[in-house]
Amino acid sequence: MSSTRQLTIVQLYSRDMNIYGDHGNVLVLKRRAEWHGYSVKVIEYNPGDSFPESVDIIIGGGGQDSGQDKIQADLLKIGPKLHELAEKGTPILVICGLYQLFGKYFKTQDGHIIEGINLLDIRTTAGPERLIGNIVVESDQFGEIIGYENHSGQTFLGAKVKPLGNVIRGAGNNGGDDWEGARYKNIIGSYLHGSLLPKNPHIADWLIEQAAINKFGNFEPQVIDDRFANLAREHAAKRPR
């Protein structure tokens, strides 16, 4: 295989939106892409950086309130670029804080509106309590998804997005409508930490597959030993909330 088959992963706001295991998602994408035979470049994008020319996968995580304040203006600035990439089918995974800010807005406890980039047709409102605990989701596309949620924002989906899946156990987007996450084009938005990708390697492989097809026209997966992932899923699914 020629060494020119390179995939570039851009991690959005690694400094301020990288709170709890978000590094795990980047690591799993990088290693699995390597195991599938690609060379991988990870670019950490932070406020004020020039946005990379060539981007194959975009990934973003959660942050503290202070982190969200620091990146919001920059996110609005690169919003048009992210729209363009998303419409072209670039695979994107956004978790928790950036999932919220990829939507229309986040409304804080005191009614203040933090504007998002409106790439996902979702609206989020600060909730009265944190939704915390192990969560299991059933998705038409990805089967059973296993993770851990920890958020106070309650997210509601608009007509232009589909949920990532139905909540089997846990709260999900808002604890009310049984939905978790959002899907649009090749974007996955989700509240799931855990980290998400290590215990759900089929989602990681799907993101890599979309990137490879976009760039090279095909994807030839290698067999990866997922015994530990399968056993970790089995044990995690049995744990209390």
CB of 156 to other proteins, least distance (A): 23
Min dist CB 118 to other proteins, Å, is 26
- DSSP letter at 159 equals T
Nearest residue (CB) to other proteins, 14 versus 90 = 14
Q: Which is nearer to other proteins, 5 or 31 (CB)?
A: 31
Distance from C-alpha of 32 to C-alpha of 79, rounded to nearest angstrom:
28
CB of 193 to other proteins, least distance (A): 4
Rounded alpha-carbon distances, angstroms, from residue 43 to 8, 58, 153, 240: 7, 10, 28, 37
Nearer to other proteins among residue 86 and residue 93 (C-beta): 93
Least distance from C-beta 231 to other proteins, angstroms? 4
Which positions are annotated as active-site residues?
96, 193
Q: Are 183 and 163 in contact (CB under 8 A)?
A: yes
Q: Rounded to an integer, what distance in angstroms lies between the CA atom of residue 80 and that of residue 23?
A: 26
- Residues in the site for other proteins, rule: CB under 8 A? 14-15, 18-21, 23-25, 27-28, 31, 44, 64-66, 130, 132-134, 148, 150, 193-195, 198-199, 225, 228-229, 231-232, 234-236, 239-240
Query: In this complex, which beta carbon is closest to other proteins, that of residue 104 or of residue 151?
Result: 151
Q: Which whole-number Å values give the CA distances from 14 to 50, 99, 234, in the listed order?
A: 15, 15, 30
Rounded alpha-carbon distances, angstroms, from residue 88 to 30, 82, 152, 155: 22, 10, 32, 26
